[in-house]
Amino acid sequence: MNALIFAAGLGTRLKPLTDTMPKALVPVNGKPLVQILIERLKCIGVTEVVINVHHFAQQIIDYVEDNDSFGINIHFSDETSMLLETGGGLKKASRLFSNDEPILVHNVDILSNADLQALYAQPATTLLVSARHTQRYLLFSHTNRLVGWVNIATGQVKSPFPEIKALDCEGHPDLLPLNRENLTVSLDSLPSTHFPQPSTLHLYAFSGIQVFHPSLLPLMDAWEGKFSIIDFYLSICNQVAIYALPDARLHLLDVGKLDTIAKAEAFVENENW
């Protein structure tokens, strides 16, 4: 099993801790975030890991190497010259894996109770999602296939499907045919649509955890430098099926601010990590 850990971020919301260390080395119950994640990945059978690095990159490399790579093969994707974002980071890191197996992609600052083995077993590129309330959602069809993105605060819609792009209400979010109780959008309000029935779209929040199938890499050839993996998916989801794996029981914690560290410590203790 392969895994990519996104650890290149600046961690600005964790200042002043990240003035002297990378976010990946911020300790939770005495263990750096990157070690917590590596050990969890190792427990589910991951044997090869790539970590992208930028901010205080050498500190991460030294820590991993000082711990004998925790008994698995770990490589580093160097982004010290330029942050490549999620899409560019994945494209560059993919070259470091020794095989063409799927890649479990996981943000270093995300803690969750997700069944990562079930996610990895999905036969296509799949995003772990939940129905939590936020402002920006991915849009999925009744078969859980990715079809677009929406910002419910602004009404902006992104999609390669004309029927869904027609929902765009940027600047007028109240015009978006959104059911806020069950997080769905209806295409029935459009004058006409050829979108496969039923015409109800589900809104899910992305967790920062996904499984990427390398069969999509040739479609990245035209994408250079830094770019978002979500923007890439939205550009090709009318050509290639990209799916959601909704998890109603998902407990997710983004260790992105100082006041979340205590919550993270309790989370780790409760999960017996």
Would you place residue 236 in the very low, low, confident or very high pLDDT band (cuts 50, 70, 90)?
Answer: very high
Please provide the average confidence, as pLDDT, over all residues in the chain: 93
Continuous H helices in the chain: 33-43, 57-66, 85-94, 116-120, 162-165, 229-236, 261-271
**224: CB partners within 8 A, 6+ apart:** 88
What is residue 10's three-state secondary structure? coil
Counting Cα atoms < 13 Å in the Cβ hemisphere of 78 gives 4
| Contact indicator for 55, 9 with CB cutoff of 8 Å | yes
Q: Tens digits of per-residue pLDDT, 44-87?
A: 999 999 999 999 999 999 999 999 999 999 999 999 999 999 99
pLDDT at residue 273 tops 60: no
Q: How many residues does the chain have?
A: 273
Q: Taking the C-alpha atoms of 61, 65, 67 and 68 in order, what is their torsion angle to the nearest 10 degrees? A: 150
User: Quick one: pLDDT at residue 257?
Assistant: 85
> Amino acid letter at 237?
C
CB 3, CB 49: distance < 8 Å: yes
User: First-to-last CA distance in the chain?
Assistant: 20
Nearest to 196 by CA among 238, 224, 243: 238
- Angle CA 14–56–77, to nearest 5: 110
Q: Which two tokens stand for residue 247?
A: 């998890």
Please state the rounded mean pLDDT for residues 172-187.
Answer: 91
Band (195; pLDDT cuts 50, 70, 90): low
- Across 139-166, average pLDDT: 95
pLDDT category, 186, cuts 50, 70, 90? confident
Domains delineated in the chain: 1-112+252-273 (3.90.550.10), 114-250 (no CATH)
CB contact set of 255 (below 8 Å; sequence gap of 6+)? 14, 26, 28, 33, 109, 110, 111, 261, 264
- H helices within 33-174, ranges in order? 33-43, 57-66, 85-94, 116-120, 162-165
Strands 243-246 and 252-254: unpaired
Number of H helices, E strands in the chain: 7, 16
What percent of the chain shows pLDDT beyond 70?
Answer: 95
What pLDDT does 163 receive? 87
